[in-house]
Amino acid sequence: MKVRIKDDICQGHALCFITCPEVFHLNDDDGHAYVKSNQVPAGLEDKVTTASKSCPEGAIELTP
């Protein structure tokens, strides 16, 4: 599974980071989320999916 943050849509709600800090981080400068790697580490697919659903902006894109 791959994950991507749509930079133009993210508003910094941080629910992704709260849900799965192993994958999502917040940029100290603009408060927007980023991912260390687009490839979701094994075993974290469910958490990343939950994080994606938690984003009120729909800014987290998952691809199989």
Distance between CA 26 and CA 63 in Å, rounded?
Answer: 21
Residue 37 DSSP one-character state:
-
**Contact assessment for residue 27 and residue 17, using Cβ atoms and an 8 Å cutoff:** no
Query: Could you say whether residue 3 binds ligand F3S (CB under 6 A)?
Result: no
Q: Which helix (H) or strand (E) holds 35?
A: strand 33-35
Query: Could you say whether residue 60 binds ligand F3S (CB under 6 A)?
Result: yes
Q: How far is the CB of 13 from ligand F3S (least distance, A)?
A: 4
Q: How far is the CB of 17 from ligand F3S (least distance, A)?
A: 6
User: In the complex, which residues of this chain contact ligand F3S (CB under 6 A)?
Assistant: 5, 10-16, 32-33, 55, 57, 59-60
